[in-house]
Chain A
Amino acid sequence: MKKVSLVLLVALFFSMLLSGGVEANVIEIRGSDTQVNLVGNFAEAYMDKNPEVMISVTGGGSGTGISGLINSSIDLANVSRLISEDELDQAHDRGVEPSRVIIALDALSVITHPDNPVEELTLAEIGDIFRGDITNWADVGGKNQEINLYGRQSNSGTYVYFRENVVKADFSDDKMRMNGNAQIVEGVKSDSSAIGYVGVGYTVTEGEVVEGLNLISVALEEGKPFVTPLDPDNVAAGLYPLARPLHHYSDGTPQGVLAEYIDFVLSEEGQQIAVDSGFYPITEEFEEINRENLGQ
């Protein structure tokens, strides 16, 4: 009796292994920490409608996602920046053809402590602060206290985006390299002279700024208006200088289950999930790029 059940068990085990290999209904997504919650919400909604599909979403940073794609250990990479030339070369060396889909827009938020009187900064001032050229809040109209910098570590897409577009040099060595958006938010909440940058999904809930944070209005340059990312119209109209696209990268044009999932993300329903998660729907200009990359 015992032996029979053992044989049955073994047979069951192997049949499960085999069937798992045949139906490739598992989608593995890894990468950007900014996108984890957003894509997690996409995945949950999609799995509710398609119970036969399993989607797993993990973080680690955009760079981690891209190395996963290059090593073929995942199906989709969450990347909150553009793929770099080096990464493209590496991917091609391994026969991987990264293809880009924009899934939502993020307005990178610059946050401070509510006790800090500074409400508005220009892009250049933010760059000076994170480069370490401005080290006192008094220089930008605040109190006389030293500025404490909170940011991400180097495998973060947010780190790279911010460095390329705002700092335009190396970050100050004094900037704390936090291991995730949530840690930056916690850090800034408890530090009255802090400044940090995080994805808007971490600073806004239901159209209101998270308690304990102050959201800085940003001007593209001196003399231009200061714009808050709180108003979705500002982002949609391209007025907020730190709006950026969030991506899925796949190996080649997505096929099969992957394509169906991406269609869902780009549908009206999917884009509403993005809005509910605190991000913004993609605009006409990015829809155009998506159509091109998806071959539609």
Chain B
Amino acid sequence: MNYKLRDNLIEKFFLLNGIIVILILLGIFLILLTNSWPAIRSIGISEFFTSARWNPTAYGGDNEYGILAKIISTLMVTFGSMIIAVPLGVAAAAYLSEVASIRVRSILKPALEILASIPSVVIGFLGIVVFGPLIAQTFNLPHGLNAINGSIALAIMALPTIISLSEDALSSVPEEYRKASLGLGANRWQTLTRVTIPASLSGIFAAVMLGMGRAIGETMAVLMATGNAPRMPSSFFSSVQTMTATIAIELGEVPYYTEHYHALFVIGLVLFIMTFLVNLASDIILHRYRREE
């Protein structure tokens, strides 16, 4: 009886926690929506997506609120970082889980955790003083504060997530799969690429999506590394200003409850919807994939 009651209470406790998380999510969404609504009403939603320029404190007073350049900058930097981080991350995970000796693992795993704990300002600073000049030299540019620099900074930040989650996924593939594959005469490389990785693809996919979620919302490192020129980017060598950087830079200074203030919340809302869609898409793909399994 006593045990039953305790079980019951514990179950309720976990349910409560689950509900609280959902409520927090809903609360954030509602705050974003109510705070951006005045700007949507007074400026009009189309202005945000059709105007070419973001200039909320214009010299003459003709404020403009175009966020298209920021959305494109954010997507460029995020996908750039994934192009760098995914192959590196999956390869490192495969090495850790399939090849590395226990000794090597015992050094690499903690090193990875330390990498994850480096504050983003430090990575941003490295972007300015190390990667920037390096990029400038390699591509013969006058300076290296551009989308590629931001991508590298974000790739470094997304790598630990991608590696450790992919490694978990690879390790959870049953040993029998590998043994069967090796028994059929496949070598280790063939086993890895044709059996182990496909079998853990859903987990690796989730790892990449989580890494991407981290990258799309990261602020400080991109703020420092990308140069923050608000113009529409023309290539990966352009200085770009991402959505997060705009909010971080301008929200500290903006007078409260003005059009500019509410417009910043619109950027936040659009960012929220973007990350939500990324997560939703990954969820749908994951489920479909699992069913096929």
Contact = CB atoms under 8 A, between A and B. Distances in A.
Interface residues of A, number: 34
A92 to B, nearest CB: 13
Interface stretch (A173-181, A206-214, A261-269, A272-280): A173-181
A170 interface: yes
A183 B239 CA distance: 15
B57 interface: yes
Interface in B164-206: none
Interface in B14-47: none
B252 A87 contact: no
Interface stretch (B1-9, B90-98, B112-120, B228-236): B228-236
B249 interface: yes
Given A163-B59, A190-B132, A61 B231 contact: no
Given A86-B255, A186-B129, A190-B132, A145 B142 contact: yes
A154 B241 CA distance: 13
A154 B142 contact: no
A86 B60 CA distance: 15
A283 interface: no
Nearest to B52: A173
Contact of A186 (B55, B60, B128, B253): B128
A67 B252 CA distance: 8
A154 B128 contact: no
B147 interface: no
B230 A194 contact: no
Contacts of A154: 57, 249-250, 253
Interface string A67-78: 100000000000
Contacts of A86: 255
A169 B143 contact: no
B142 A170 contact: no
A163 B142 CA distance: 25
A191 interface: yes
A3 B58 CA distance: 63
B249 A148 contact: no
Contacts of B59: 163, 167-170
Contact of B223 (A148, A179, A190): A179
A190 B55 CA distance: 28
B227 interface: yes
Interface in B45-84: 53, 55, 57-60
Nearest to A70: B255
B216 interface: no
Determine which residue in A86, A168, A187 has the highest number of CB atoms from chain B within 10 A of its CB, and name it: A187
A144 interface: no
Interface of B: 53, 55, 57-60, 128-129, 132-133, 136, 142-145, 223-224, 227-231, 239, 241, 249-250, 252-256
16 contacts: A61-B252, A61-B253, A63-B253, A86-B255, A87-B255, A90-B255, A146-B142, A153-B250, A154-B249, A170-B59, A176-B227, A177-B241, A183-B128, A190-B136, A192-B142, A194-B143
